[in-house]
């Protein structure tokens, strides 16, 4: 009887030891997984995948943004696989991205410069474009989303110009002229030469040409009119700028094709 008991106890002990061995193996296996250590097979697979991603960046075939590509390179480098070929590819990929970022910045600056030049032309409007035409051009520039302060400032000025052009449709031509003359005088007195230039250009657009005749009435008695020496509209605007004063009022004008061919002024 005692022998049978001993055998049973021996079997139970062997069973217990077997279970503990299995548990130990499981713990060791879990420990390897949680420690972050990779098997040779896993490491090799990750390195190959990293090389594929780096190769796409180096060859310029990656579909990711430049920022995403840069993050990918940094992530691969951070894993420190210590693979000579991979390390060389990391260096090469970084050089490629550096050039790509520089080229993108260059292209953006070229777009900014072109946009600024176009906006300045729109402010001068030497081609005498309508408010609708200017607005269509402005919409294309705004759609570029250049996020440049100077460009944004110029956009705001062009928007003001367009708004002014639309409002002028209901303003008598005589009032437009007198407002322009006074505006040039005030801007010159304040030393704001860019505004003087802009007002001069917009005023010239009301005339058939820069050489349109301007006559200044010195005195008038009935049908007898005494004029000062004739000048041109361009020279007269320059005179206002230099004198920083507007001493004459609009008396009359002669139109040709909707623009002023000849302007009569009279001393205030």
The CATH number covering residue 229 comes to 3.10.450
- Count of domains observed in the chain: 1
- Of the pLDDT bands very low, low, confident and very high (cuts 50, 70, 90), residue 32 is very low
**pLDDT digits 0-9 by tens, 167-185:** 766 778 898 899 899 999 9
Is 3 domain-assigned?
A: no
pLDDT at 13 over 80: no
Residue 258 located in a structural domain: yes
What's residue 19's pLDDT? 57
Query: Could you tell me which of 48, 43, 68 has the C-alpha nearest to residue 57?
Result: 68
For the stretch 70-110, pLDDT in tens is 999 999 999 999 999 999 999 999 999 999 999 999 999 99
Residue 208 lies in a domain: yes
Residue 136 belongs to some domain of the structure: no
27 domain-assigned = no
- Any domain includes 69: no
Q: What is the DSSP string of the chain?
A: -HHHHHHHHHHHHHHHHHHHHHHHHHHHHHHHHHTTPPPHHHHHHHHHHHHHHHHHHHHT---S-HHHHHHHHHHHHHT----HHHHHHHHHHHHHHHHHHHHHHHHHHHHHHHHHHHHHHHHH-TT---HHHHHHHHHHHHHT----HHHHHHHHHHHHHHHHHHHHTTS-HHHHHHHHHHHHHHHHHHT-HHHHHHHHHHHHTTBS-TT-EEEEEEEEETTEEEE---EEHHHHHHHHHHHT---EEEEEEEEETTEEEEEEEEE-
Could you tell me if residue 198 is inside a domain?
yes
% residues pLDDT > 70 (the chain): 85
Q: Which domain holds residue 239?
A: 172-268
pLDDT of residue 68: 96
Q: Is 83 within a domain?
A: no
């Amino acid at each position: 009887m005692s022998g049978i008991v001993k055998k049973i106890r021996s079997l139970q002990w062997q069973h217990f030891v077997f279970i503990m061995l299995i548990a130990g193996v499981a713990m060791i296996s879990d420990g390897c997984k949680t420690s972050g250590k990779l098997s040779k097979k896993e490491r090799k697979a990750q390195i190959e995948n990293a090389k594929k991603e780096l190769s796409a960046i180096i060859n310029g075939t990656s579909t990711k943004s430049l920022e995403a590509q840069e993050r990918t390179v940094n992530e691969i480098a951070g894993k420190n696989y210590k693979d000579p070929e991979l390390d060389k590819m990391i260096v090469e990929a970084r050089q490629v991205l550096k050039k790509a970022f520089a080229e993108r910045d260059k292209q953006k600056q070229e777009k900014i410069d072109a946009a600024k030049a176009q906006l300045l032309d729109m402010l001068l409007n030497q081609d005498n474009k309508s408010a609708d035409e200017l607005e269509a051009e402005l919409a294309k520039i705004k759609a570029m989303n250049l996020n440049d302060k100077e460009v944004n400032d110029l956009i705001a000025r062009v928007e003001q110009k367009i708004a002014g052009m639309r409002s002028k449709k209901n303003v008598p031509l005589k009032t437009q002229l007198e407002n322009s003359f006074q505006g040039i005088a005030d801007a010159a007195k304040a030393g704001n030469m860019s505004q003087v230039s802009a007002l001069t250009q917009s005023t010239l657009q009301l005339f058939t040409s820069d050489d349109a005749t301007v006559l200044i009435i010195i005195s008038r008695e009935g049908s007898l009119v005494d004029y000062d020496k004739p000048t041109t509209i361009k020279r007269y605007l320059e005179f206002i700028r230099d004198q920083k004063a507007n001493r004459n009022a609009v008396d009359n004008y002669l139109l040709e094709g909707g623009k002023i061919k000849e302007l009569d002024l009279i001393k205030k």
